[in-house]
Amino acid sequence: MEKQKVLFILGATGSGKSDLAVKLAKLFDGEIISADSVQIFKQFNIGSAKVTKDEMQSIVHYGIDLIEPNAEFTVYDYVEYTKKMIDIIAKKGKLPIVVGGTGLYVKSLIEGYNFGDTEKHSDYREELEKEIKKNGLESVYNKLLKLDEKLAKSLDRHNPVRVIRALEIAKFGSNKTKNNVCEYDFKIIATSLDRELLYKKINKRVDQMLESGLIDEVKAIYNRYGENLQPMKAIGYKEVLKYIKGEINLSEMSELIKKNTRNYAKRQLTFLRGLKDVDYIDNSNKEKALMVAKEDIEKWLK
């Protein structure tokens, strides 16, 4: 039996992957599934660069605004949800297109990870949280590196929620968790930009987010739910939270978001280099990038 074809459009934040994905969805009658760990939460809009209805251009998008801000969403939840959506899209006779930058989500699908047997271990989580407070996140991340280096390098090492969950998986998951085979015939296209141009786009995007009301967005969520939310630890939100609490000034907050986003883009690029069979497409010329991607995908579909 032939495997279901799934197209992945990956790339560093700010490299134009969402825009390219919409154009490709139009060309190949596809529907898009987001692979972003913040966009799944309602109300986290500006800081997550959530696609607007206008930007969707009538292409159906899944994986956005799934749950309330105070809910919890694990990698296992994402994999199970995305598998269901892939089946739904395929049954329509359309091409499933997974788009995003959360490495652990993507890796879980591509490498066929199965987290179903890895339940939550509250005592272990509490133990890790105490260690983070005492020795810093780096010490806990190093534990993960020793247990499962590939898993460690696929996630945001500065996100305590992701690091703790990954350690839980590495420690309590069965061997099957790490050695499953992907059930899809996938193709990976990654948008790329010159490093200097990428950083300029990132800096400009942060300025636009702040102009669009990011601070008010964070204030509204914080006033209603407090700060102990899973997505509040994401870049763009944690820095604004520091500003709201008076720990840093406006200028420091803006520069910190830019710096952390640039560093995150570096980690995304490192993650991509660890994947096999990635076709990089220079997205500095969008028309040319679309043409190259189109030809590439046509060969794969045949």
Please state the rounded mean pLDDT for residues 104-111.
Answer: 86
Q: Give the pLDDT of residue 202.
A: 97
Q: Which two tokens stand for residue 254?
A: 């803006």
Residue given tokens 């500065």 in the structure block: 158
- The band of 122, judged by pLDDT with boundaries at 50, 70 and 90, is confident
pLDDT band at 244 (very low <50, low <70, confident <90, very high): very high
> What are 36-89's pLDDT values in tens digits?
999 999 999 999 999 999 999 999 999 999 999 999 888 888 999 999 999 999
pLDDT for 176 equals 43
pLDDT at position 7, please?
98
- Please determine, for residue 177, whether its predicted confidence score (pLDDT) is greater than 50: no
Q: What domains appear along the chain, each with residue ranges and CATH number? A: 116-180 (1.10.20), 196-263 (1.10.287.890)
Please give the C-alpha separations between residue 244 and each of 91, 114, 212, 215, 216, in angstroms, as whole numbers. 47, 39, 17, 8, 10
Average pLDDT, the chain: 90
Q: pTM of the prediction?
A: 0.82
pLDDT at 175: 45
Of 124, 136, 134, 135, the closest CA to residue 160 belongs to 136
Q: Sort residue 270 into left (φ over 0), alpha (ψ -120 to 50) or beta.
A: alpha
The pLDDT-based confidence of 182 (bands split at 50, 70, 90) is confident
State the pLDDT at residue 235: 96
pLDDT reported for residue 66: 96
Lowest-confidence region among 99-108, 235-244, 279-288: 99-108
What are the tens digits of pLDDT across the range 15-32?
999 999 999 999 999 999
Q: What is the pLDDT of residue 225?
A: 97
